Structure 1
Amino acid sequence: MLWLIRLGAYMLSGAVIWSFLHDGTGPVAYFPGGRHLVLDPDNGMVFGVCAGLGKYTGFDTTFIRLGWVLACLYRGVGVALYLLAFLLMPL
């Protein structure tokens, strides 16, 4: 199970580095639809991370918020992930 988490972290960091090195046209530009993961402060409660993630994935924002709360209850991982997502996602 730990190798799966590491693999996801390596893939995420590779995508972020790719985005910075190629003038912001990261791997998202190569996927169909051209959707972009951005903050949605108009529909958000705190910073708009969950609303932006819900808009990007098509899931209901309530379920995403519930997932963040459950992640916060597990050793505070959700707080760190929320702040990291806020820092990485553009407006």
Structure 2
Amino acid sequence: MIWLIRAGAYLFSGLAIWQFVQGANPADMAMFHRHLALDQAHGMIFGVCAGFSTYTGLDVTLIRLAWALAVLYRGAGLALYILAFLIMPVS
């Protein structure tokens, strides 16, 4: 499980470094200033996946698929989904 957290941290830091190396202007860096919040208007259950989709700009279907795979992997995704629902504010 810890490898999954490490992989996410490496991916996020790699994305930040890539944006810096490519010389992105401040308008492109606005992605990093978004707030992670539940999107209950577009969500299916609680809006966690829709909130992550709005935050990252990825398609919500990809995020739901990744979350479903995490649920199938020893149920870790279910615990993370409930934890995200409790922590994330409502938009």
**Equivalent in the alignment of 1:43:** 42
- Work out the CA distance in 1 between the residues paired with 2:3 and 2:75: 21
Measure how far apart 1:74 and its partner are. 0.5
- Work out the CA distance in 2 between the residues paired with 1:87 and 1:39: 10
One-letter amino acid matched to 1:50: C
**Structure 2: tracts of 5 or more residues without a match:** 10-28
RCO higher in structure (CA 8 A, sep ≥6)? 2
- Work out the CA distance in 2 between the residues paired with 1:54 and 1:75: 24
RMSD over equivalenced CA pairs, Å: 2.5
**Structure 1: tracts of 5 or more residues without a match:** 10-31
**Equivalent in the alignment of 1:58:** 57
TM-score, structure 1 normalization: 0.66
Measure how far apart 1:2 and its partner are. 4.4
TM-score, structure 2 normalization: 0.66
- Work out the CA distance in 1 between the residues paired with 2:81 and 2:4: 20
Q: CA distance change for structure 1 residues 5 and 53 in 2, over 3 Å: closer, same or farther?
A: closer
What's the CA shift string for 1:26-77, capped at 9, x where partnerless?
xxxxxx5221000000000000000000000000000000001000001000
**Equivalent in the alignment of 1:15:** none
